[in-house]
Amino acid sequence: MEPVSDAHIAFGREVRRRREAKKWSQEELSRRAHMHLSYIGQTERGQRNISLTSILRLAEALDTPPEKLVAATGSAGK
């Protein structure tokens, strides 16, 4: 599966950065966000065109405002 766009890659890196800051495995994040483990991995690699619902779930699990996750994409998608 190929990356969707630079913005998706940047988003995935931010999710990974925040997950690792909490010293969580992908499995732990998937449990807390109620998402499949493979979906977490694909998201972190920028291989998912992630939905708003998924962004909100990840933000809640990571205890961060969703706009902080999205802001990490900056102008990557332009």
Joined together, the tokens standing for residue 23 give 């010293």
Q: What is the pLDDT of residue 1?
A: 65
Nearest alpha carbon to residue 56 among 44, 69, 45: 69
CA distances from 24 to 16, 20, 27, 32, 42 (A): 10, 6, 8, 10, 16
| E strand residue ranges, 1-78 | none
Q: Assess whether pLDDT exceeds 60 at residue 78.
A: no
Q: Are 13 and 44 in contact (CB under 8 A)?
A: yes
Please name the residue that has the structure tokens 């998402």.
35
Q: Which structural domains are found in the chain, ordered by start?
A: 6-71 (1.10.260.40)
Q: What is the pLDDT of residue 74?
A: 85
Element (H, E) at 14: helix 6-21
Give mean pLDDT, residues 68-73.
93
pLDDT digits (tens, 9 = 90+) for 8-39: 999 999 999 999 999 999 999 999 999 999 99
